[in-house]
């Protein structure tokens, strides 16, 4: 039932539009049929050479009307259906966003495989096809076949039954067989294609290894073998598709012949007029255009499965989230924040080894601490505890005496974060900076840009502050992107700033300059800086070494230099002029 959660509710939301679209679809088919019907009638009637031209005047007008209406109705129907689907898309987006927003800080650690986020976004766009390509055409085909059978029923019950049988083949049996035949193959093909995709990505990202190892040709061979296997499945699916449409046409042929026989009999028995023979026969061709695509519409169903499954996983993940709104503590005076960690431990579950163990820290307003440790030492967990995103398993994390986990909603006003890859949004440069403070005036933005030394660069952009980021982004180096993010943080103006390895990947000079700007512009704020080496350690009040979740060294630069030979050795590695003297 949950699976329908992403498809069905939107019919209810847009029930009127939905009905209008279906009605338009039906009318389009009707007009096409009536055009041929009246044309057949008109010609036959004319062939009887009526005395008065007025006898065929009505059919003449009708033929023209139906011809024009069909085109117009089809046009309107396509527009209306796309409009509805885009409305649904918008709703789905908001819904997905609401699912993801509470887990924002955990997304990168939870969904490591591939680019989950853009996949989800594509899934939603793909689901438009459920409506456009499967639901709408199927319903139209079903309703039309109902109408046809009901219409014939009033002429001749037994023939109506025969037609019902034919249409049953076209609208039910053929699609069902098609679905049954292709379902497994669709899955196989998808699986094979995914494997090819991973394999190829692996090979392109690891190309230097393939080349240097001399195994490139070996790779190409195995890859081609896999491609062949996928192509075999594709071919068999294509063979079926072409055969299926031929079968459908055969049915259509039989229907035409049956209609001819029936109309002939009806006329022979004088149940219908002679002029109706052509009318009835000609109607078949446009009518069948509504039924033949049905198989393809149904065959698509397995294609939606993966997208629906992924979205369903998100539903489940969101259900496990705790509800943040329960925590509504507030700190009134945000100018002076005192962060205090007391014997904090954290483990993901009771059984698991603790990621953090017995951490105590005192960070009064304005203190600058540096946290250093190798990957997996617990640095990011420690940051999440300080941000109140996760409550410690043991011990306490407080701000001015209040539990940080209870402050979680206010945290963005207290702590800002500059991390390794701050996201620059695809909007203008000034809007990107303004994200720090929505109400910021242009002057404030300019001042922030000046402080982070971006004003000269921005002046060289084609439209200055109004330059879209996707244009400017190409001109922005890694260091400059960090500066944009820093300007944002200056506007956010929080008493505490977390720096989460903001200089990884920058070359030494850029790093040095960026750090100098950071230290200078963030004077007076508390700094919690996670880093991987000791540049600028002298500027910090306290340096903490984390190892396997514990603090193994703690103290100021001078203290550590005096006390810890290990620290001294590391510092010298970073500052080789010590070696040479």
Partner 1 sequence: MGRNLLRYKGSKTVMLSIGCLTLIQSAAIVMQAKWLAEVISALFAGELLNEQFTDIMLFLLAFLLRHGTALLQQRIAYRFAEKTGESMRKGLINQLFTLGPIFARQQGAGSLVTLVREGVLQFRTFLELFLPRMMGTAITPVLILIYIYMQDVWSGIILTVTMPILIIFMILIGLAARRQMERQRTSYQVLSNHFVDSLRGLETLKFLGQSRAHSETIGRVSDKYRSATMRTLRVAFLSSFALDFFTMLSVATVAVSLGLRLVEGNMVLVTALTVLILAPEYFLPVRMVGADYHATLNGKEAGEAIQSIIDQPSVDMEPSDHVPRPFWTKDSTLQLSHIHLQREEDGTMSLDDVSIQLHGIQKVGIIGESGAGKSSLIDVLAGFFHPTSGTIKVDGIEVSSLANEWWQEQVTYIPQHPYIFGGSLADNVRFYAPEASMGDVKEAVHRAGLSDLAEKLPNGYDEIIGNGGRQLSGGQEQRVALARAFLCRRPIILLDEPTAHLDIETETELKETMLSLFEDKLVLLATHRLHWMTDMDYIIVMDQGKVAESGTHEDLLARKGAYYKMIHSGLGGA
- Alpha-carbon Rg of the chain, whole angstroms? 35
Among 508, 523, 558, 565, binds partner 1 (CB under 8 A): 508
Residues 313-332 that bind partner 1 (CB under 8 A): none
- Minimum separation from the CB atom of position 264 to partner 1 (A): 4
Q: Closest CB to partner 1 among 392 and 436? A: 436
Q: Closest CB to partner 1 among 475 and 533? A: 533
Cβ atoms of 1 and 121 closer than 8 Å: no
Among 22, 26, 34, 120, binds partner 1 (CB under 8 A): 120
- Minimum separation from the CB atom of position 562 to partner 1 (A): 19
Distance from C-alpha of 156 to C-alpha of 150, rounded to nearest angstrom: 10
DSSP 3-state of 461: coil
Distance from C-alpha of 512 to C-alpha of 489, rounded to nearest angstrom: 19
Residues 362-381 that bind partner 1 (CB under 8 A): 372-376
Distance from C-alpha of 168 to C-alpha of 160, rounded to nearest angstrom: 12
Distance from C-alpha of 268 to C-alpha of 467, rounded to nearest angstrom: 79
Compute how many residues bind partner 1; rule: CB under 8 A.
Answer: 152
First to last CA, the chain: 73
Q: At what angle do helices 157-168 and 216-268 cross, to 10 degrees?
A: 180
Burial annotation 113-122 (CB, 10 A radius, 16+ → b, else e): eeebeeebee
Binding status of residue 250 toward partner 1 by CB under 8 A: yes
Cβ atoms of 318 and 102 closer than 8 Å: yes
- Minimum separation from the CB atom of position 376 to partner 1 (A): 6
Residues 16-35 that bind partner 1 (CB under 8 A): 35
Q: For partner 1, which stretch binds (CB under 8 A), given 7-15, 394-402, 431-439, 557-565?
A: 431-439
Could you write out the three-class secondary structure of 423-435? CCCCCEHHHHHHC
Distance from C-alpha of 276 to C-alpha of 290, rounded to nearest angstrom: 22
Q: Closest CB to partner 1 among 46 and 142? A: 46
Q: Name the nearest CA neighbour of 152 among 41, 67, 266, 38.
A: 266
- Minimum separation from the CB atom of position 112 to partner 1 (A): 6
Q: Closest CB to partner 1 among 75 and 168? A: 75
Binding status of residue 260 toward partner 1 by CB under 8 A: yes
Q: For partner 1, which stretch binds (CB under 8 A), given 332-340, 455-463, 531-539, 555-563?
A: 531-539
Q: For partner 1, which stretch binds (CB under 8 A), given 144-152, 161-169, 353-361, 430-438?
A: 430-438
Binding status of residue 79 toward partner 1 by CB under 8 A: yes
- The H-or-E segment that residue 369 falls in is strand 368-372
Q: Closest CB to partner 1 among 218 and 343? A: 218
Distance from C-alpha of 357 to C-alpha of 392, rounded to nearest angstrom: 10
Residues 43-62 that bind partner 1 (CB under 8 A): 43-47, 49-50, 53, 56, 59-60
Strand partners, 543: 370, 555
Q: Give CA 445 to chain center in angstroms.
A: 32
Binding status of residue 68 toward partner 1 by CB under 8 A: yes
- Minimum separation from the CB atom of position 202 to partner 1 (A): 5
Among 154, 335, 349, 577, binds partner 1 (CB under 8 A): 577
Residues 146-175 that bind partner 1 (CB under 8 A): none
Q: For partner 1, which stretch binds (CB under 8 A), given 77-85, 160-168, 326-334, 449-457?
A: 77-85
Residues 444-473 that bind partner 1 (CB under 8 A): 468, 470
Q: Closest CB to partner 1 among 150 and 552? A: 552
Q: For partner 1, which stretch binds (CB under 8 A), given 7-15, 144-152, 196-204, 448-456?
A: 196-204
Cβ atoms of 363 and 338 closer than 8 Å: yes
Distance from C-alpha of 399 to C-alpha of 409, rounded to nearest angstrom: 13
Binding status of residue 348 toward partner 1 by CB under 8 A: no
**What does the chain come to in residues?**
581
Among 163, 411, 472, 551, binds partner 1 (CB under 8 A): 411
CB atoms within 10 A of CB 143: 16
């Amino acid at each position: 039932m949950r699976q329908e959660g992403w498809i069905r509710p939107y019919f209810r939301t847009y029930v009127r539009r939905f009905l209008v679209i279906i009605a338009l679809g039906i009318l389009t088919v009707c007009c096409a049929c009536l055009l041929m019907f009246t044309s057949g009638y008109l010609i036959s009637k004319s062939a009887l050479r009526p005395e008065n031209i007025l006898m065929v005047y009505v059919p003449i007008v009708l033929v023209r009307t139906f011809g024009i209406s069909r085109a117009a109705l089809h046009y309107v129907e396509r527009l209306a259906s796309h409009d509805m689907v885009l409305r649904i898309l918008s709703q789905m987006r908001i819904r997905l966003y609401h699912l993801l927003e509470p887990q924002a800080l955990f997304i990168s650690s939870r969904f490591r495989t591939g680019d989950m986020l853009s996949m989800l976004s594509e899934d939603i766009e793909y689901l438009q096809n459920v409506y456009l390509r499967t639901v709408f055409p199927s319903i139209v085909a079903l309703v039309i076949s109902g109408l046809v059978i009901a219409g014939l029923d009033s002429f001749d019950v037994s023939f109506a039954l025969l037609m019902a049988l034919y249409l049953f083949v076209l609208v039910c049996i053929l699609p069902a067989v098609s679905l049954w035949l292709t379902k497994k193959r669709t899955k196989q093909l998808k699986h094979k294609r995914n494997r090819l995709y991973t394999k190829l990505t692996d090979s392109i990202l690891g190309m230097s290894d393939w080349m240097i190892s001399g195994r490139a040709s070996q790779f190409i061979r195995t890859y081609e073998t896999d491609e062949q296997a996928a192509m075999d499945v594709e071919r068999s699916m294509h063979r079926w598709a072409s055969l299926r449409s031929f079968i459908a046409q055969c049915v259509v042929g039989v229907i035409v012949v049956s209609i001819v026989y029936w109309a002939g009999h009806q006329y022979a028995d004088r149940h219908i007029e002679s002029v109706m023979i052509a009318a009835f026969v000609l109607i078949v061709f446009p009518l069948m255009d509504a039924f033949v695509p049905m198989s393809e519409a149904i065959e698509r169903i397995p294609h939606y499965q993966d997208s629906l499954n992924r979205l369903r996983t998100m539903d489940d993940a969101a259900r496990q989230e705790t509800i943040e709104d329960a925590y509504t503590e507030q700190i009134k005076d945000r100018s002076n924040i005192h962060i205090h960690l007391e014997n904090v431990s954290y483990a993901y579950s009771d059984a698991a080894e603790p990621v953090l163990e017995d951490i105590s820290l005192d960070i009064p307003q304005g203190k600058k601490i540096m946290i250093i440790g190798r990957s997996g030492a617990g640095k990011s967990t420690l940051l999440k505890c300080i941000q109140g995103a996760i409550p410690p398993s043991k011990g306490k994390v407080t701000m001015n005496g209040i539990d940080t986990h209870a402050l979680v909603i206010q945290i963005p006003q207290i702590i800002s974060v500059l991390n390794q890859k701050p996201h620059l949004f695809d909007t203008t440069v000034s809007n990107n900076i303004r994200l720090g403070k929505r109400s910021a005036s242009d002057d404030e933005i300019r001042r922030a840009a000046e402080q982070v030394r971006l004003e000269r660069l921005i002046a060289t952009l084609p439209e200055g502050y109004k330059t879209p980021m996707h244009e400017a982004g190409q001109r922005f180096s890694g260091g400059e992107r960090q500066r944009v993010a820093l300007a944002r943080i200056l506007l956010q103006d929080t008493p505490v700033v977390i720096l989460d390895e903001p200089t990884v990947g920058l070359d030494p000079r850029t790093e040095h300059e960026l750090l100098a700007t950071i230290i200078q512009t963030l004077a007076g704020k508390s700094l919690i800086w996670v880093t991987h080496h000791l540049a600028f350690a002298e500027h910090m009040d306290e340096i903490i070494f984390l190892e396997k979740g514990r603090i193994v060294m703690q103290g100021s630069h001078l203290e550590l230099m005096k006390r810890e030979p290990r620290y001294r050795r590391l510092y010298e590695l970073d500052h080789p002029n010590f070696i040479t003297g």
